[in-house]
């Protein structure tokens, strides 16, 4: 079931990316967050910041949220259109929340 507004942390993730605000982006994640992007893995705020610099804000990423769906528990699948200097296209991301923040982000 797709609803009108995603959970706040997902909105922050998208808004911070589109604003180029690395600090707000990293703050949307838990201290022990895990990011998996097509087999590459990053952990904690340092890992999130590293991934952000090479694959997100660092490449001028802009997201358009196309849909989001609850995937059980605190997990969601978001479908986004991504445009940047490096990556472009439409795809799904699996986002898991804990205490109102993103604890897992899985792409691919």
**Exposure letters 45-63 (e unless 16+ CB within 10 A, then b):** eebbbbbbeebbbbeebbb
| Alpha-carbon torsion angle 61, 82, 4, 73, nearest 10 | -90
User: What is the reported pLDDT for 2?
Assistant: 47
Give tens-digit pLDDT for 25-57. Answer: 999 999 999 999 999 999 999 999 999 999 999
Look up the pTM and report it: 0.94
Q: How many Cα neighbours within 13 Å face the side chain of 69? A: 7
Q: How many CB atoms lie within 10 A of CB 98?
A: 14
**By C-alpha distance, which of 91, 104, 19, 27 is closest to 56?**
19
Please tell me whether residue 38 adopts helix, strand or coil conformation: coil
Give tens-digit pLDDT for 56-71. Answer: 999 999 999 999 999 9
In the chain the domains, ranked by start, together with CATH numbers, are 8-107 (3.10.450.50)
């Amino acid at each position: 079931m797709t609803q009108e507004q995603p959970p706040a942390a997902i909105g922050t993730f998208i808004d911070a990316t589109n604003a180029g605000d690395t600090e707000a982006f990293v703050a949307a994640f838990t201290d022990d967050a895990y990011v998996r992007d097509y087999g590459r893995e990053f952990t904690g705020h340092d890992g999130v910041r590293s991934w952000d610099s090479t694959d997100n804000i660092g490449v001028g990423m802009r997201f358009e949220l196309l849909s989001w769906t609850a995937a059980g528990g605190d997990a969601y699948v978001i479908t986004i259109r991504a445009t940047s200097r490096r990556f472009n296209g439409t795809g799904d991301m699996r986002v898991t929340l804990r205490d109102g923040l993103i604890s897992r982000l899985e792409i691919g």
